[in-house]
Copies of this chain bind each other. A is one copy, B any other.
Amino acid sequence: MKIVYVVPGPMDDEEVKRRGELLKNWAFPGTDVEIVNVNEGPASIESMYEEYLSIPATAKVMFELERKGYDAAILGCAGDPGLDAMREITDKMLVLGPGQTSMIVGAALGHKFSVITIEETMIASTYELAFKAGVLDKLASVVSVAIPVLQLKLKKEKSLKKIIEAGIKAVKEDRADALVLGCMSMGFLDVAQEIEKAVGVPIVNPSKVGLKMAEAMVGSGLMHSKTAFATPTKISSRRVKDLDELYIRK
């Protein structure tokens, strides 16, 4: 099984490598997991504007990766930016969004789950993501730690402390039975176990769960539904001959 993890924007090579190694460690024997980053886009994604900025270049990379024979791709941002578009332009390579995927796993562990997000400004779009995932009824709350993405790793101890505080609040006040980390950079801190120990409920790490769910779905022979995510009609009807022709200039 060949899986590729796609960082939807530029990332420094060392961090790409570090994340790639974590993914390899997490993979089942028999899974070949690669990581790529898209060489243009936002430095990090902390607003809807940056989500949308990331999509066109990432979509092109996805389109090419399908041609390279990957069985599944993980869209490496917990906001799942443009997931529906990625699924529209692929038809053999399963594309998974770790945001929605983590939410359904969180939902499966108990009655209610909460999402810990980086910034207050991402709370509303997290509710919309839960609606798209179909598990809005089980979302106890979305709580934010107010740490910019690019600071998470630099200030790892402080970040961990804030995540734990936010998690305890969600469990106590909102009756969350499980917590979902709502940011891939949070996930790649690889601190789910510490948080679980401190908070006392299962912690869903989107970075790890995204991979394991991709393996499970490919292993189950499942592909995203082309009924739900139809190839754009200009392409399927051959009115245009490649993806680039969909974008025109006056």
Q: Is A182 an interface residue (CB 8 A)?
A: no
Residue A88 contacts which of B49, B127, B177 (CB distance < 8 angstroms)? Answer: B49
Q: How distant is the Cα of A234 from the Cα of B121 in the complex, in angstroms?
A: 12
Report if A10 contacts B (CB, 8 A).
yes
Q: Could you say which of A69-77, A153-161, A220-228 contacts chain B? A: A220-228
Chain B residues lying within 8 Å of A208, measured Cβ to Cβ, are 220-221
Q: Which of B96, B213, B233 contacts A47 (CB under 8 A)? A: B233
User: Do B125 and A250 have beta carbons less than 8 Å apart?
Assistant: no
Encoded as 1 (CB less than 8 Å from any B CB) or 0, chain A from 13 to 54 comes to 000000000000010111000000101111100111111110
Q: How far is the CB of A81 from chain B (nearest CB, A)?
A: 8
Does A230 sit at the interface, judged by CB under 8 A? yes
- Show 25 A/B contacts (Cβ-Cβ < 8 Å), sorted by A: A10-B249, A26-B219, A28-B28, A28-B30, A43-B248, A46-B232, A47-B88, A49-B88, A52-B82, A52-B85, A53-B55, A104-B104, A104-B105, A104-B108, A104-B134, A105-B217, A108-B217, A109-B223, A119-B233, A128-B132, A136-B137, A202-B224, A205-B220, A209-B222, A212-B215
A152 within 8 A of B: no
Question: For residue A178, which residues in chain B have a CB less than 8 angstroms away from its CB?
Answer: 225, 227-228
Query: Which residue of B has the minimal Cβ distance to A89?
Result: B49
A149–B30 Cα gap in the complex (Å)? 36
Q: Report the separation of the CA atoms of residues A133 and B219 in the bound assembly, to the nearest whole angstrom.
A: 22
Checking B9, B59, B215 against A52 with a beta-carbon cut-off of 8 angstroms, the contacting residue is: B59
Q: Which of B50, B82, B219, B248 contacts A212 (CB 8 A)?
A: B219
Q: For A130, give the chain B residue with the smallest CB separation.
A: B134
Q: Smallest distance from the beta carbon of A158 to chain B beta carbons, Å?
A: 17
Interchain CB contact under 8 A, A39 and B134:
no
Known contacts A100-B108, A108-B101: A212-B202 contact under CB 8 Å = no
Cα of A59 to Cα of B50 in the assembled complex, Å: 11
In the complex, which residues of chain B have a beta carbon less than 8 angstroms from the beta carbon of A215? 28, 212, 215-216, 219
* Residues of chain B lying within 8 A (CB to CB) of residue A176: 227
Known: A42-B247, A56-B53, A148-B233. A212 touches B204 (CB 8 A): no
